[in-house]
């Protein structure tokens, strides 16, 4: 394990001796940049902490954990710490991100991800899959406590199943990108709003179980019995995106793009 109290730390992690590498990020206030690369190390990056109060630990092994810690000694909040990680495309891996009261925005596009878990607390959390996953993902799991959560180009994640849950939060789930196989989505939301955005060319079926929540359709969505469908779904296109949404004391908004 390596630790630094301030300034810049280089991060270099070799592939662990396991067929299923796993990376866990535990982050507080931070600017995060993640991108794929073709180097020999699994992870190559840097962490810069101008505050001198948020040291980072890198623990390696079957699971690699990169975590921030708060140290009030010498605190100087002149700028936000920045974590930059280049991750090899050579092997698929699992990723877990834990963020507390924080504002984070980053792109996981192009990374070979087999499973992703995101646990966000209060604040704002934006995740994007700007390029297709070169592998296949078994599960994409997104959860938010309070605040705002946005997922973009989610079809590019190439997940088989997705679960999303939120407490007092506003969530936007945009399923843009290339849907290359059948996928299922389960959404559970409490007091808040859920905006689902699906391309009209994607065969999407949305089933809703709502309590004291309104449902609004915008664009080309239509209702077929108890199911809300896109034009591609009505035409019997494949692959299919099956979405089950449970919303209580909030709003479910369906939009085509």
Please report which confidence band the pLDDT of residue 75 belongs to, taking 50, 70 and 90 as the band edges.
low
Summarize pLDDT for 211-254 with one digit per residue, the tens: 656 889 999 999 998 899 999 999 999 999 999 999 887 789 99
Residue 173 banded pLDDT, cuts 50, 70, 90: very high
Do residues 217 and 197 make contact, with C-beta atoms less than 8 angstroms apart? no
Confidence of residue 3 (pLDDT cuts 50, 70, 90): very low
Handedness of CA 33, 128, 185, 215 (dihedral sign): positive
- To the nearest whole number, what is the mean pLDDT of the chain? 90
Per-domain residue ranges for the chain?
A: 1-91, 103-111+120-257
Planar angle of CA 147, 84, 176, nearest 5 degrees? 55
Mean pLDDT computed over 177-186: 97
Query: Please, which pLDDT band fits residue 5 given cuts at 50, 70 and 90?
Result: very low
pTM across the whole model: 0.91
Cβ–Cβ < 8 Å for 42, 17 = no
Q: What is the Cα–Cα distance from 42 to 13, expressed in whole angstroms?
A: 6
Spatial separation of the C-alpha atoms in residues 243 and 213, rounded to whole Å: 17
pLDDT digits (tens, 9 = 90+) for 82-135: 999 999 999 999 999 998 777 889 999 999 999 999 998 777 889 999 999 999
Contact assessment for residue 1 and residue 50, using Cβ atoms and an 8 Å cutoff: no
Q: Is the pLDDT at 177 greater than 80, yes or no?
A: yes
**Do 141 and 117 contact (CB within 8 A), yes or no?**
yes
Report the greatest alpha carbon distance in the chain: 63
């Amino acid at each position: 394990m390596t630790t630094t109290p301030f300034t810049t730390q280089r991060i270099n992690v070799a592939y662990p001796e396991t067929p299923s590498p796993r990376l866990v990020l535990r982050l507080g206030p931070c600017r995060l940049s993640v991108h794929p690369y073709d180097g020999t190390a699994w992870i190559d990056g840097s962490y810069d902490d101008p505050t001198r109060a948020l040291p980072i630990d890198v623990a390696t092994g079957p699971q690699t954990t990169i975590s921030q810690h708060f140290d009030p000694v010498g605190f100087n909040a002149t700028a936000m710490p920045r974590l930059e990680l280049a991750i090899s495309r050579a092997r698929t891996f699992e990723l877990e991100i834990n963020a507390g009261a924080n504002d984070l925005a980053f792109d996981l596009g192009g990374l070979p991800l087999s499973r992703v878990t995101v646990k966000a607390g209060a604040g704002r959390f934006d995740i994007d899959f700007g390029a297709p996953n070169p592998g296949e993902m078994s599960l994409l799991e997104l959860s938010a406590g309070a605040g705002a959560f946005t997922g973009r180009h989610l079809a590019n994640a190439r997940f088989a199943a997705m679960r999303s849950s939120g407490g007092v939060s506003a969530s936007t789930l945009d399923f843009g990108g290339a849907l290359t196989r059948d996928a299922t989505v389960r959404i559970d939301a409490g007091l808040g709003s859920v905006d689902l955005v699906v391309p009209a060319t994607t065969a999407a079926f949305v089933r809703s179980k709502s309590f004291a929540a309104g449902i609004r359709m915008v664009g080309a969505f239509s209702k077929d019995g108890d199911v809300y469908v896109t034009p591609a779904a009505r035409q019997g296109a494949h692959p299919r995106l099956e979405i089950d949404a449970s919303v209580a004391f909030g709003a479910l908004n369906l939009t085509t793009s």
